[in-house]
Structure 1
Amino acid sequence: MANVFENLYQAKGLQSQRRYPNDALIGFLAGRFFRLPAAERSQVKVLELGCGSGANLWMVAREGFDAYGLDYAPSGLALCRQVLDDWGVSARLDQGDMTALPYENASFDAIFDVVSMQHLTLAQHAQVLAEVKRCLKPGGHFFSYHLGQGSSAFAAEVPRLDGVTLTEVPAGYPLASNGQTAFLSADGYALLAAQAGLVDIAVDKVVRSYGQQAQQVEYLVLTASKG
């Protein structure tokens, strides 16, 4: 999987991903942390899993949080540094695998994923969620924006790595050619989070239509916390 995105970043640079943060993520952070004054925000540690070229992370840093970003692709991290510099902000960036986070136990007040975990297998999802729980502080929060099984592509007749993970979203569907892609159900994702030991789990859905063929893309917005 890493090679898919490394190649994408090398080929398209900052055009490989969007440039501005996910709106549901903004709402998640606003509801939990934006009330804090600047001096207190700087003590709030926030980690993005799969930060890529930094479309979300610059906002986290600009809002005054102690921002961290993890990605497996070196070219993505190089682009992220460029974006952070362009906005005049800083974050700690690490190259690594989200299934084995390179951080101490109880390190973060919040951890989030925006369409990065969806490129892992179902078994790897369980590993990541266990690592999220380990690395969150007690009372810390988790956010994930993830493809759902209401998406048209989930029904495509293509090889699968497991019951939910397509080897590739085929041509003709939104989000094609990004390598292996998992589509979760709302109940399935909530169960994975619960099995990892997270609590206060909620899953909302966002549905969008694309193109003249009205292909549908469903996103799951999962929030949870560590008790």
Structure 2
Amino acid sequence: MSFDNKWDTEIYKNHAQVNRYPFDSVVSTVFRYFGSTKTRSDIKILELGCGTANNISFLAQEGFSAIGLDGSEHAIQLGRKLLKKKELNAELICQDFTKLSNFEDESFDMVIDRGSITHNRRKDIETTISDVHRVLKERGIFLSHIFSSKHSAVKYGKRLEDGTLHEFSGGFFVGHPMIFYFATDQDIIDLYESRFTMLSKLHNVSQEMLNEDDYRAMWNLVCQKN
């Protein structure tokens, strides 16, 4: 099992990273490809690492059929409370999202990864992306955000294996208990472009001007199964 239980015991149990609102990239991508759909309940969307259901609640509110996966029982409990409070219907499942064998082939119109699979080793990331391709319908959409090797945090992390770092001594992720994978240009080709048609391939880099040595870098990808 690749799920790191620290997400449950050190993050969500302490009500950290409890996001209330959906991420803008999720909103814009969903509406770009499915906003004009007349019967939204026919559109099935799966989120990997749904956390406390901020994106899932948005999907449910907009009438889509949504399923969220997270390995943290505390996150799932908080997510269910949110859905109940808003009187929304969606399915939240506590499971390791790197293992999707319980879902049938070509069963989803969209899969969302808003910076979740990046907290795994490369072999688990590759397995997950391969499984995402399997569960997506033809012309289905895969939104994925994964940290870039150009991120300044790379110089602060302790190496577990190529691209995989943890125990950061400085920078944005100091004190963060999880592992991070930082994808190179070649990783994007091997992991995504070899399987999908790329509809958008953004490499976002932002610099902290109060500390010019620190800058964020992330791949924001929109892929389509053909």
TM-score, normalised by the number of residues in structure 1: 0.90
Three-state SS of the structure 1 residue aligned to 2:159 is: coil
Preserved CA contact (<8 Å) 1:190 1:201: no
User: Equivalent residue of 2:113, what SS?
Assistant: strand
Aligned position for 2:207: 209
Structure 2 gaps of 5+ residues are none
Moved more, 82-91 or 62-71: 82-91
Counterpart in the other structure of 1:161: 160
Please identify runs of 4+ aligned residues in structure 1 that moved more than 6 A: none
SS of the residue corresponding to residue 141 of structure 2 reads strand
Residue correspondences, number: 220
Change beyond 3 A, Cα 1:133–1:173: same
In the other structure, the counterpart of 2:170 is 172
- Secondary structure of 2:150's partner? coil
Q: Secondary structure at the match of 1:93?
A: strand
**1:76 maps to amino acid:** A
Deviation at 1:185, TM superposition (A): 2.4
**Superposition pairs for residues 58-137 of structure 1, below 5 Å?**
58-101=57-100, 102-137=102-137
| 1:210 shift after superposition | 4.0
Q: Which moved more, 1:182-191 or 1:44-53?
A: 182-191
Matched, 1:22 2:14: no
* Amino acid aligned to 1:219: M
The whole-number CA distance in structure 2 between the counterparts of 1:113 and 1:60 is 14
Q: Distance in 1 between matches of 2:6 and 2:208?
A: 23
Supply the distance in 2 between the matched residues of 1:209 and 1:87 (Cα, whole angstroms): 37
Q: TM-score, normalized by length of structure 2?
A: 0.90
Q: Secondary structure at the match of 1:5?
A: helix
Deviation at 1:124, TM superposition (A): 0.9
Deviation of residue 207 (structure 1)?
2.4
Counterpart CA distance in 2 for 1:56 and 1:210 is: 27
Matches of 2:225 and 2:44, distance apart in 1: 15
Structure 1: distance between partners of 2:129 and 2:147:
16
Offset of residue 160 of structure 1 = 1.8
Q: Percent identity?
A: 27
Q: Relative to structure 1, is the Cα distance of residues 17 and 171 closer, same or farther in structure 2, using a 3 angstrom cutoff?
A: farther
